[in-house]
C-alpha cells in the first residue's frame, strides 16, 4: 500500500538567477520568515549553486516565495535527482507514485522542458534526454503550447565557462510550480521611469532590498536618503505606505536640471509621487520632505516597520550635511531664536552610518529591519585607480531590531567618530 508523503518528505527545487549571488540567501530566508518558515536545505547545499533544494515546506510556501523573489527564477516539486542519469532514475523510481499520479492522468496535457546551466545542448540531445525519461508513467497527451502540467529536467554543468564537463555534476527532475518576479526588473526599469536622477537605484536591487527588509502590505517604510524614491517605488509595490526625506531641495521638489540625456530641465510633474502613480501605488505615498539625516525631524515616538535606504558614498553624489559657521555669523546678544545657519559641511561616511544605526535603533518597531548599502574596501579589485573607486562596490546590510540589539547602538553622540585618515 502506498505511503502518504506529506510536507515532511516533499522537497522543492529553487532555480536561482546567477547574478547578485550574495543577496540570494538573505532574500529567500527573509521571504520564508515572512511565513514563519525555516530555511531547511540538503546536506550538500552550496550557496553559489544555481539550484537549491528546500525541505519542510508546502507548495503554498513556495508559491508565496516565488510571488516576491527577484533572485529566484523558478521553482519545482523535486521528484528526483542524482549525479548521474542512473542515480536520477533510481531516485525517480523511489518517489511516491501517489505524489506523481495527479499530474500524470490520462486526460491531462503536459510538456517536458530541458534546462542546462553552463552548457548549451543541441535540439537532438535535448530530445534524447526527454526520451530517456520514458520509464515515468506519463499517461496524458503532450501539448507544447498550453499544457496543464510542465515538467523540467535541469542539469548543472558547474560555473566555469572555460571548463565545461562532458556530463553534468547534478541532474534534477521535477514538476514546475511557479516562476519568480524577474519580470519586475524590466517592467520597473529606471530607463522607463518618469522621474530619475543620477543615482536612481536599479529596479532589481530595489526589490531585493524591499525583500530583505521583509516589507509587507500596510507597513510604514521610511527612506532617509530618498533621492528620486526608487526604494519607495519597490516597497509600495509590496503594499507598504512609504515616506522619505532628502537634503536636496531640488530632488524633493522635482525641479532643476534633468538627469536624462536630451532634456535640460525637469518637467512640471517629475517627482516621487508621479513615480508611484506610474506604477499604480500613489495611494500608498505618504510624503517626502527636505531634511538632513544627521538632524532627524521625527518625534521620539515615530515608529517605522522598515527603513530601506541608499546613503550617499561621496562617489556619484556628495556627502553633505547642514552646519553653521558660528564664528562668522554671530546672532545678536538678545536674540532668543534658532541661530542655525544652514550652510553645508562634510558628512563623513562613518558619521552617516553611525547616525543611521542610531536612528534605526530608536525608530524601528521591534523586529523591524534596516536595510542599507555599505561601501566596502576590496583591495583585491583595486588596480591602479584610486581607493575611492574601490569604495564604490557596496554591499547591502540587513539589521533587524530585536530587544537584544537595541542597546548595541549607543545613543546619539555629540562628538563625531574620528575621521578616517
Ligand X SMILES: C[S@@+](CC[C@H](N)C(=O)[O-])C[C@H]1O[C@@H](n2cnc3c(N)ncnc32)[C@H](O)[C@@H]1O
How crowded is residue 300: how many other Cβ atoms within 10 Å of its Cβ? 7
Q: 222 or 225: whose CB is closer to ligand X?
A: 225
In the complex, the smallest distance separating the C-beta of residue 212 from ligand X, rounded to whole angstroms, is 15
Q: 35 or 395: whose CB is closer to ligand X?
A: 395
In the complex, the smallest distance separating the C-beta of residue 55 from ligand X, rounded to whole angstroms, is 37
The residues facing 14 across adjacent strands are: 52, 75
Instruction: Report the alpha-carbon distance of residue 307 to residue 353 in Å, rounded.
Output: 13
Pairing of strands 304-309, 220-223: parallel
Instruction: Give burial (CB, 10 Å; 0-12/13-18/19+) of 210.
Output: buried
Instruction: Report the alpha-carbon distance of residue 138 to residue 110 in Å, rounded.
Output: 9
Q: 109 or 259: whose CB is closer to ligand X?
A: 259
In the complex, the smallest distance separating the C-beta of residue 104 from ligand X, rounded to whole angstroms, is 48
Q: 49 or 309: whose CB is closer to ligand X?
A: 309
Q: For residue 397, report the phi and psi dihedrals to the nearest 5 degrees.
A: -125, 135
Q: 154 or 288: whose CB is closer to ligand X?
A: 288
- Residue 394: name the closest of 8, 20, 78, 133 by CA: 20
Per CB under 6 A, residues contacting ligand X are 197, 199-201, 225, 227-228, 230-231, 246-248, 251, 292-294, 310, 312, 317, 319-321, 347
In the complex, the smallest distance separating the C-beta of residue 247 from ligand X, rounded to whole angstroms, is 4
In the complex, the smallest distance separating the C-beta of residue 189 from ligand X, rounded to whole angstroms, is 13
Q: 65 or 276: whose CB is closer to ligand X?
A: 276
- DSSP letters of 258-318? -SSTT--B--TT-SHHHHHHHTT-GGGEEEEEE--TTS----TT--EEEEEE----SSSS-
The closest residue (CB) to ligand X is: 227
Q: 232 or 361: whose CB is closer to ligand X?
A: 232
Q: 69 or 291: whose CB is closer to ligand X?
A: 291
In the complex, the smallest distance separating the C-beta of residue 29 from ligand X, rounded to whole angstroms, is 24
Pairing of strands 109-117, 149-156: parallel
How crowded is residue 289: how many other Cβ atoms within 10 Å of its Cβ? 11
- Residue 361: name the closest of 395, 312, 396, 411 by CA: 411
In the complex, the smallest distance separating the C-beta of residue 419 from ligand X, rounded to whole angstroms, is 16
Instruction: Give burial (CB, 10 Å; 0-12/13-18/19+) of 269.
Output: exposed
In the complex, the smallest distance separating the C-beta of residue 246 from ligand X, rounded to whole angstroms, is 4
Amino acid at each position: 500500500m502506498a505511503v502518504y508523503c506529506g510536507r515532511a518528505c516533499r522537497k522543492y527545487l529553487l532555480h536561482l538567477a546567477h547574478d547578485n549571488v550574495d543577496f540570494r540567501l538573505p532574500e529567500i530566508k527573509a521571504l520564508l520568515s515572512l511565513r514563519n518558515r525555516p530555511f531547511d536545505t540538503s546536506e550538500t547545499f552550496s550557496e553559489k549553486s544555481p539550484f537549491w533544494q528546500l525541505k519542510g515546506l508546502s507548495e503554498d510556501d513556495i508559491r508565496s516565495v516565488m510571488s516576491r523573489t527577484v533572485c529566484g527564477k523558478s521553482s519545482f516539486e523535486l521528484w528526483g535527482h542524482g549525479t548521474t542519469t542512473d542515480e536520477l532514475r533510481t531516485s525517480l523510481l523511489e518517489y511516491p507514485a501517489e505524489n506523481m499520479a495527479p499530474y500524470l492522468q490520462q486526460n491531462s496535457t503536459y510538456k517536458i522542458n530541458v534546462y542546462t546551466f553552463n552548457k548549451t545542448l543541441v535540439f537532438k540531445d535535448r530530445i534524447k534526454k526527454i526520451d530517456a525519461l520514458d520509464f515515468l508513467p506519463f499517461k496524458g497527451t503532450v501539448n507544447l503550447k498550453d499544457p496543464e502540467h510542465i515538467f523540467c529536467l535541469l542539469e548543472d554543468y558547474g560555473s566555469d565557462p572555460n571548463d565545461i564537463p562532458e556530463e553534468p555534476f547534478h541532474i534534477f527532475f521535477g514538476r514546475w510550480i511557479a516562476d519568480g518576479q524577474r519580470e519586475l526588473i524590466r517592467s520597473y526599469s529606471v530607463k522607463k521611469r518618469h522621474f530619475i536622477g543620477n543615482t536612481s537605484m536599479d529596479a532589481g536591487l530595489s526589490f531585493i532590498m524591499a525583500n530583505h527588509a521583509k516589507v509587507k502590505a500596510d507597513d510604514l517604510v521610511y527612506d532617509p536618503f530618498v533621492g528620486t524614491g526608487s526604494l519607495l517605488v519597490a516597497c509600495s509595490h509590496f503594499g507598504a505606505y512609504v515616506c522619505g526625506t532628502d537634503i536636496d531641495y531640488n530632488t524633493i521638489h522635482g525641479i532643476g536640471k534633468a538627469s536624462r540625456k536630451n532634456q535640460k530641465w525637469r518637467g512640471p510633474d517629475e517627482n516621487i509621487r508621479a513615480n508611484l502613480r506610474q506604477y499604480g501605488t500613489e495611494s500608498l505615498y505618504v510624503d517626502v520632505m527636505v531634511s538632513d539625516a544627521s538632524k532627524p525631524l521625527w518625534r521620539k515616538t515615530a515608529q517605522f516597520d522598515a527603513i530601506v535606504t541608499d546613503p550617499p558614498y561621496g562617489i556619484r553624489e556628495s556627502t553633505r550635511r547642514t552646519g553653521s559657521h558660528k564664528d562668522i555669523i554671530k546672532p545678536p546678544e538678545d536674540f532668543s531664536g534658532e541661530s542655525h545657519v544652514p550652510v553645508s559641511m562634510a558628512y563623513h561616511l562613518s558619521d552617516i552610518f553611525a547616525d543611521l544605526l542610531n536612528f534605526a535603533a530608536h525608530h524601528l518597531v521591534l523586529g523591524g529591519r534596516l536595510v542599507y548599502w555599505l561601501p566596502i574596501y576590496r583591495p583585491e579589485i583595486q588596480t591602479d585607480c584610486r581607493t575611492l573607486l574601490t569604495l564604490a562596490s557596496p554591499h547591502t546590510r540587513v539589521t533587524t531590531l530585536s530587544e537584544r540589539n537595541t542597546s548595541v547602538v549607543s545613543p546619539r553622540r555629540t562628538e563625531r567618530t574620528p575621521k578616517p585618515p
